Amino acid sequence: MIMVLTSFTHVGKTVRLKRILKNDGKAVVFAFDHGVEHGPRDFPGEKIDPRPIIEAVVEAGVDAIMMLPGMARLTYDIWAGRTAMIIKVTSKSNLRPKEERLLQSTFGYVEDAVALGADAVAATVYWGSPYEDVMLERWFSVRSAAETYGLPCLQLAYPRGPTITNRYDVEIVKYGARAAAESGADLIKTYYTGSKETFAEVVKAAAGVPVLMSGGPKREKEIEFLQDVYNVIAAGGSGVVVGRNVFQHPNPKAMMKAVIAIVHEGLTPEEAVKLIK
Ligand code: FBP
* Model pLDDT for residues 25-65, shown as the tens digit of each residue: 999 999 999 999 999 999 999 999 999 999 999 999 999 99
pLDDT of residue 2: 80
Closest atom, ligand 1, to C-alpha of 217: 4
pLDDT, average across residues 222-246: 98
Residue 1 has pLDDT above 80, yes or no: no
pLDDT, average across residues 155-184: 98
Which of these CATH numbers, 3.55.40.20, 3.30.360.10, 1.20.1250.20, 3.20.20.70, describes 8-273?
3.20.20.70
Amino acid at 67: M
- What are 65's strand-pairing partners? 30, 85
Phi, psi (rounded to 5 degrees) for 71: -70, -35
Within the chain, residue ranges assigned H as helices are 8-20, 34-37, 50-60, 69-79, 110-115, 132-149, 170-182, 196-205, 222-234, 244-247, 252-265, 269-273
Identify the CA nearest to 130 among candidates 154, 97, 153, 107.
Answer: 97
pLDDT of residue 216: 97
pLDDT of residue 4: 85
CB of residue 42 inside a 6 A radius of ligand 1: no
CB of residue 31 inside a 6 A radius of ligand 1: yes
- What percent of the chain is modeled with pLDDT above 70? 100
Decide if 189 is catalytic. yes
Angstrom distance (rounded) from CA 90 to CA 16: 21
Strand 105-106 to 90-91 pairing? antiparallel
Angstrom distance (rounded) from CA 193 to CA 207: 17
CB of residue 159 inside a 6 A radius of ligand 1: no
Which of residues 118 and 1 earns the better pLDDT score? 118
Residue 205 has pLDDT above 80, yes or no: yes
pLDDT of residue 3: 82
Residue 277 has pLDDT above 80, yes or no: no
What is the average pLDDT score of the chain? 97
Q: Which residues contact 166 (CB under 8 A, 6 or more apart)?
A: 172
Residue 79 has pLDDT above 90, yes or no: yes
pLDDT, average across residues 156-176: 97
Catalytic residue among 189, 196, 218, 274: 189
